[in-house]
Structure 1
């Protein structure tokens, strides 16, 4: 496995392999001496597993780490834990613990490693557990968000009494960002929340279960036919675009695995936003958070052309990768830019 992965980088002009390690213990020592920019590490390793090794690495010699994980229940849960402890990203192994067909993920791994090399290490450190997250709601006029971008005419007509839907899109760094946002939403939230997180099948279920344990609102992996309810969040399953359909006076989830991936992503934020733009009997709060690429920017243009939409982008201060929010801001359609810890408050202000 180490030989296979090392060989992947022979063709890359940007990546040089400076060393390999037999296990987590070996890795900790070699990172201290070799001081690499990026480390790839398996979740499952002998002597010291990937989670334990990652914890020690982030304490002793913080570095950008990209995990490799198998799509078992234990593998997916461990991967989410790794994200929480400071791993930048992960790649799912195509066929279990010993995947001799790793060439299938070569391009993805190379891309993620090149991206990880540019990540600020300070943003990867695990946030302190004991910080208070309950903060008073401050009226929007007092500029609780970091930047207030001038409102569009449509947002000036924002009516808090009408039906609302919250749409969230994110990618690299998303699991931690979602934990920061979703866990601060109150259980009486006056809107359903639809979430697209770029992740392969299997991992989105573990993400939903984990967020559900930590949150006041109900969080689940979306299923075909789920009726959208206020105070509930629905995460698009890996491999499916997330759409909705009107059923009488309610809306339900439609999962789509027929439309091809957009820019390599299924689910894609653009599809979620574009699909929602077809319905005008509710207002939308669209949130774009940390992630590589520009998914969501095209869909945001569609959303803004139809009905009342407030757009919130995560600030460069807190993004692990300032790609998706940057592309959204560059459309000049974003109404609020906020650090991740202020996004939930900003959403709530528009709902209450």
Structure 2
């Protein structure tokens, strides 16, 4: 079995040693080099030709974001960011996802994380996942499109139309490409589950809100959902949509993870299956695993009016969730990432 060759980049000698030990406990992983800062990382990416790079966010001389940009320009390589659990760290991580990083691991606060061992398994799994992922280079800035005239004239009742999006690895960049193409007067609410830990979904929502004509926010408990707004499930909490006196309301919960996920796409879709008179567009996008497939099956069982779109393999970072959704035979169309927004609009 060919080993996954990893370059570790961190300005802390302690962190470099701990991460090396963690990764090399897996016989399928070989640490072939270390780098002390972003400049060193850029040079060793060219010299060592690693399969995966773990990249610290905060470093001297050239930080992780700057290094990532050069790596993606000179020799694209799957990158797993290692971020601190701070507001600044979360914001930078979201920018890194836009610039082509495959995934990230959140370490605890402080320059030296003594309990990094607590995320050891996550680090190993994400490195292995990254080795098989497709590197998506940063897209060109989206061209501003005029608002569709059919959107301007449509006034659909809130109780009829709803868009639900499920996404995981590669999600921040994919969500950006979809949401920034939707007009401010989009006539339905959008509910989103992005697999991401607590503390990062708020930064993701804030970032997407600045880039999109529609409003994007982290969902709040008991919040009435409104057209023209996208609601992202908070990390660590399931998002349910329930009917209260004719209005659709977000209900957040900390029930057990479903297949390792909280929030879970399945939980979201199963809650939508209980709504009356709903017409749903479900979009399953890039990500590892099968989250969302059981939800589609439940929608079918409950005879909910829905159409399902899956992101195409060539446009996914990881073609796991869309592939498993397609296998349910309840997906109506497989669509390239660049065309998903137009397909959403054409459903109105």
Give the Å deviation of 1:137: 6.9
Give the Å deviation of 1:162: 7.3
In the alignment, structure 2 segments of 5+ residues that lack a partner are: 1-14, 151-155
Q: TM-score, normalised by structure 2?
A: 0.90
Partners of 1:137 and 1:345 within 8 A in 2 = no
The counterpart of 1:116, out of the listed 130, 142, 154, is 130
Partner of 1:189: 186
Say which SS state the counterpart of residue 90 (structure 1) adopts: strand
Distance 1:304 1:85, change over 3 A: same
Cα distance in 1 for partners of 2:291, 2:243 equals 25
Give the Å deviation of 1:350: 1.3
Cα distance in 2 for partners of 1:107, 1:138 equals 50
In the alignment, structure 1 segments of 5+ residues that lack a partner are: 140-158
User: Are positions 1:303 and 2:299 aligned together?
Assistant: yes
Partner of 2:273: 277
Aligned pairs for 1:34-73 within 5 A: 34-73=48-87
Partner of 1:128: 140
Say which SS state the counterpart of residue 297 (structure 2) adopts: helix
Say which SS state the counterpart of residue 107 (structure 1) adopts: helix
Partner of 2:240: 243
> Structure 1, residues 96-129: CA drift from partner, whole Å, max 9, x if none?
44211001111111111111111233xx211122
Partner of 2:338: 341
> Structure 1, residues 16-59: CA drift from partner, whole Å, max 9, x if none?
11001111111111111110000001101122110111111111
Cα distance in 2 for partners of 1:65, 1:272 equals 30
User: Are positions 1:174 and 2:171 aligned together?
Assistant: yes
Say which SS state the counterpart of residue 317 (structure 1) adopts: helix
Partner of 2:286: 290
Say which SS state the counterpart of residue 32 (structure 2) adopts: coil
Distance 1:293 1:99, change over 3 A: same
> Structure 1, residues 157-193: CA drift from partner, whole Å, max 9, x if none?
xx99971111000000000000011111112222110
User: Are positions 1:211 and 2:223 aligned together?
Assistant: no
Cα distance in 2 for partners of 1:69, 1:320 equals 20
> Structure 1, residues 259-302: CA drift from partner, whole Å, max 9, x if none?
11112211010110111111132111111000011111111110
Partners of 1:94 and 1:105 within 8 A in 2 = no
Say which SS state the counterpart of residue 17 (structure 1) adopts: strand
Cα distance in 1 for partners of 2:159, 2:94 equals 36
CA RMSD of aligned residues (A): 1.9
Cα distance in 2 for partners of 1:126, 1:312 equals 23
Partner of 1:199: 196
Distance 1:81 1:118, change over 3 A: same
Tell me how many residue pairs correspond in the alignment.
Answer: 328
Partners of 2:240 and 2:272 within 8 A in 1 = yes
Cα distance in 1 for partners of 2:95, 2:147 equals 29
Say which SS state the counterpart of residue 243 (structure 2) adopts: strand
Give the Å deviation of 1:245: 2.3
Cα distance in 2 for partners of 1:162, 1:98 equals 50
Distance 1:287 1:96, change over 3 A: farther
Distance 1:71 1:197, change over 3 A: same
Say which SS state the counterpart of residue 81 (structure 1) adopts: helix
Partner of 1:230: 227
Partners of 2:82 and 2:105 within 8 A in 1 = yes
